[in-house]
Structure 1
Amino acid sequence: MEVLRAEPGAAPAAEEPPQGPAEPKRRWGTPVVWRRVLIAVVAVWAVAITAVVLHRDEDAPRAAAPAAPPSASEGPLSTAEVYRSLVPSVVRIETTRRGSSSAAGSMAESAIGTGVIVNADGSILTAFHVVDGATSIKVSYTDGTATAATVADSDPVNDIATLTPQKLPETVVPAVLGGAPGVGDNVVAIGNPLGLTMSTSSGVVSGLDRVINGKPADAAGLIQFDAAVNPGSSGGPLINDRGEVIGIVVSLANPTDAGTFIGIGFAVPIGSALGGGPGSGRTPPL
């Protein structure tokens, strides 16, 4: 079976993200007698759909107080719970590349991918092929913040890149990172397949220690999974049922030239994506 790397396809005009949930009105009770009232302050994770800016922000990068990441649960979470806990850590990535030249001149090509915030400094992991050759990179957060970004580091063999955004959202929500999964473990993917912002799908780990052919070299130690992913999902997180990121989605397999999902996706284990070991493999390579 030929393994095709899922390059994010050229996207149509980005859909305008909906605004975040409106802040609920505060209700005050009327006291009958004087007494002390304890007011509890509830912090609400801002979950909204992304927006895009097409120019460099002129202001200096804004410092943001990192938020405590969502705590991974000891018990299994539902797909909806995993999505709610991780989506504030997921970003939409839009790139522009120089296209092929013609008599009318060079045409710019745009594409969409996904990334995930991995530390309190706001560093973003994504797939290298999402940003490879890009002349501009734009990152959109779930609170509506949009900013340009640059490639801080890359690992073409593992198809991993680290981005540094020029501006941070007011609340930085780094993802909780997990360890090596097992075959049959439940997983959830979050991304922007075919430009559909912040979509989710679920499945299981189908195999470990997979090897796929690629350039500049074969990628090894990959997680195979069957949660649906498509072009635009690349660079997004693969998450276990404790709400921990266990891998970065990089490719899918399809025996045809369609480049669409048929039930076989691959992710780089989070340890390898961060520059550590690939983790233990438990199945033979493809």
Structure 2
Amino acid sequence: MERVPQEAGAAEAQGAVAGRRRQFAVGGAVLVVVAVLVVVAVLAYWLGSSGGNGEEAAPVPSATPTPSATLTVSEVFKKVGPSVAVIQAGKSFGTGVIAAEDGTILTAHHVVRGAEDVSVTFADGTKAKAVVTSSNPKRDVATLKPAELPEIVVPATLGGAVSVGAPVVAIGNPLGLTYSVSTGVVSGLNRTAEDGDLSGLIQFDASVNPGSSGGPLLDARGLVIGIVVSIADPGGDEAFAGIAFAVPIGAALGGGDGDGPPGDGPQI
């Protein structure tokens, strides 16, 4: 029988040991990598779920409606209707809108012009006498102070940008039909009434008629952008012809007492 030299056997044994060492080294490296990945994954999960401080993560707030959100016509009426008042000055009727927490009402000057007896009826049915606290015939605006307020006073939100083509809503008491709502668009800006006494007006086509004057012109967010003051009346019969005007709210708020004759054109 042929013998294997001892030197050859020793060499083979050493090679086998070296091979096993290499396998162990590779296997150990793989285990280290896997362990690191597991630790990283656990850390990432823990940090993501607890914010890294051991406490529960704060809930992410959901989106809520903002004043800039566009409302439906029904929502506009629901929002602003409680701010609208019916005004009776002598035998004439008009509209007003609560403009402050103290119940001050903004209306058109010609609605209360020369009237000795002015009363208001609020949306909840509360009736009260009122006095004219300021008036500006040049802008056709006036403010009233009622002697009694409703249990809950709901001032309208005044202001808002105006642009041609934007939708508008008018709330008023046309022909004595209280709390009527009509819709339309801004037809033009910086208009002058037919008689020339009122300028810088908003032109709109929402239907208004006698009794609507002094009421709010609203944008799609329910903001008061103007006070309704007049209509175009080519037929001379005070009938709505699709053209109406409102004093921009900025101009309406800009005046205290004024002088000069009020407009003699067709006013509502």
Q: TM-score surpassing 0.5?
A: yes
Q: Which residue of 2 aligns with 1:271?
A: 250
Q: Which residue of 1 aligns with 2:170?
A: 189
Deviations 1:84-131 (A, max 9, x none): 1000000000111xxxxxxxxxxxxx1110000011011101010100
Q: Which residue of 2 aligns with 1:113?
A: 94
Partner amino acid, structure 1, of 2:147 = Q
Structure 1 residues 72 and 231: CA distance shift in structure 2, 3 A: farther
Aligned partners of 1:171 and 1:143: how far apart in 2? Answer: 9
1:189 CA drift (Å): 0.1
Where does 1:84-163 land on structure 2 (aligned, <5 Å)? 84-96=78-90, 110-163=91-144
Verify the 8 A CA contact 2:194 2:232 in the aligned structure 1. no
1:213 CA drift (Å): 4.5
1:73 CA drift (Å): 3.0
Partner amino acid, structure 2, of 1:123 = T
Partner amino acid, structure 2, of 1:245 = V
Partner amino acid, structure 1, of 2:159 = G
Partner amino acid, structure 2, of 1:116 = V
Out of 193, 200, 211, the position equivalent to 1:232 is 211
1:72 CA drift (Å): 6.6
Q: Which residue of 2 aligns with 1:248?
A: 227
1:187 CA drift (Å): 0.2
Aligned pair count?
191
Structure 1 residues 261 and 253: CA distance shift in structure 2, 3 A: same
Q: Which residue of 2 aligns with 1:166?
A: 147
Structure 1 residues 212 and 72: CA distance shift in structure 2, 3 A: farther
1:220 CA drift (Å): 1.2
SS of 2:114's equivalent in the other structure is coil
Deviations 1:192-234 (A, max 9, x none): 00000100000000000011244xx721110000000000000
SS of 1:130's equivalent in the other structure is helix
Q: Which residue of 2 aligns with 1:18?
A: none
Deviations 1:41-79 (A, max 9, x none): xxxxxxxxxxxxxxxxxxxxxxxxxxxxxx973221111
Q: Are 1:209 and 2:190 matched, yes or no?
A: yes
Unpaired segments of 5 or more residues in structure 1? 1-70, 97-109, 277-286
Aligned partners of 1:242 and 1:266: how far apart in 2? Answer: 20
Deviations 1:117-171 (A, max 9, x none): 0110111010101000112001000111100001000010111011011111111
Aligned partners of 1:85 and 1:193: how far apart in 2? Answer: 20
1:179 CA drift (Å): 2.4
Aligned partners of 2:66 and 2:216: how far apart in 1? Answer: 15
Aligned partners of 1:188 and 1:83: how far apart in 2? Answer: 8
Larger strand proportion, structure 1 or 2?
A: 1
Identical counterparts, % of pairs: 58
Partner amino acid, structure 2, of 1:172 = V
Aligned partners of 1:130 and 1:267: how far apart in 2? Answer: 14
Partner amino acid, structure 1, of 2:82 = P
Larger Rg belongs to: 2
Verify the 8 A CA contact 2:131 2:144 in the aligned structure 1. yes
Partner amino acid, structure 2, of 1:260 = A
Where does 1:25-104 land on structure 2 (aligned, <5 Å)? 73-96=67-90
Verify the 8 A CA contact 1:72 1:244 in the aligned structure 2. no
Q: Which residue of 1 aligns with 2:266?
A: none
Verify the 8 A CA contact 1:180 1:269 in the aligned structure 2. no
